[in-house]
Structure 1
C-alpha cells in the first residue's frame, strides 16, 4: 500500500521498510539485477523532498554514504524549516556505492534513508558526461514544495548529449497581387535537442524527467529548455527519448543558469 508516488531517482524515506516494501511499484520495477542510481562525483546534488509529513527534530545533521559497516561522511547541508525537512544537498569526491543516510551527528540517529546510489565519473571515450538537470516551479505541484528560494532539484540523469539537434520552423505565407506568388508573412524557429535516457528498467528515472520537465524552470546542462512532447518509452522502461527546445531571452540568446546562486541558499 502506497500513500503517494515519489517522482525522483533518489528517494528519501524515514524508514528502511518503506524502501523495502515490495508492494510499491517504485521499489519493484527493475526487470533484472537491481542497480544503484549513478550520481556524478565532484559536483553538488540537491533533492527537494515531497510534502508527506517529513518532520525533522532539532539537531545537527550530515549526510553519510553507508555500505555495510562502512560510513563515509559527505560534504552536505540539510535545509529544515519549522520542523520539516525541505531539501538536502550533498557531494562526493571519490567513487562510492551505498545508501545515503541523513544522520544527527550529536545523537548518531538516522532520520532518513535513501535508495542505493553509486558515485562515479561518467566521462565516456569522447569526453562527454551525464547531462545535468536543474528544475524548479513557481508554485507547489506534484507534492513538491518549491516556495523556498533554494528549493531546486539539481542532479544528473544517465543520458549523454549526442548532438541530436534540429531546427523546426513555423511559417505563415501570403499571396502577393493577382498571381500565384507566395511571400513569407511570418516565421518562427525552434532549436530542438533530443536526448535518450538510459534507465535500465528503473522507471523512476523516466518518471522523474516526464514530471519535472513540465516545470516552468527546467535546465539541461545550464541552458533553459522546454519539453516539446511526452517521453517515448522503450519496452520495460529500459530507455526513453525526449525532445526539448531552447528558451530565448529578449535579445534572442539562450537563458542560462547560475548554479552558484542556487547552492548559496
Structure 2
C-alpha cells in the first residue's frame, strides 16, 4: 500500500507541474484540488483497511479463546463425567460424591483474558446484544471456576460408618442437603457449556465477514488506485 501512495503522489505532482506551464492558472489549481481529494480518499481507505485487518486479528484471537474454553470443558467431562443428580442418587455412595469433588483439582483453567485486553475494540466487532451475552458468559465462567476450586477441597459432613452408604438410601431431604453443592456445579457446568456454544455461534456468523472482508477491501483500494492512476493525468489534460 505504501508503494501505491508514493507512485500516486509522484504522478499527481508531475501532472500538476506540467499543467502549470500552460497559460491558465485554474488548471493546476483544480488539478491540485482533485489530487488532494484522491490522496485523502486513498489515505482514509488505507487506514480503513488497516483497521479492518486489526479487527480480523482480534476476532481470531477472541474466537480461539472461546473454542479453547469449550474444548477444555469437554475434555474434562470425558475423564470426569458430570452426571445429572438423578443418576448420582441411583449410582453413587457418599464416598463417590466426595471423591468426585477431589477430581475437581483437575478442573481446567478457563480464561477470558484476551476479551479483557481488547475490550476497547470489542464494540467495533460485536453488537450491544452480543457484547452483553459474552460478558454474561464470562461472568458465569468465573463463577464455575471459583466453585470448582472451592469444591476440590470441600469435605462432606458425615460419620465414618456412612462412607459407603448409597445416596439413594438417604432420606430425600438429607440427599438434597448432601448433594446441594454438586447439583449447583452440575447446573452451572451445563449452562456454561451451552452458553459457550451460543457464543461460538455468534463468532461463526461473523467468520465469513472477517475472513473475506480484508481481502475485498484491499482489492477495492487496489482497483480504485489503478483507476485513479490512469484517469488523473487524462483529467488534467482537459483542464
Q: TM-score, normalised by structure 1?
A: 0.21
Of the two structures, which has the highest relative contact order with CA contacts closer than 8 Å and spacing of 6 or more?
2
More helix by share: 2
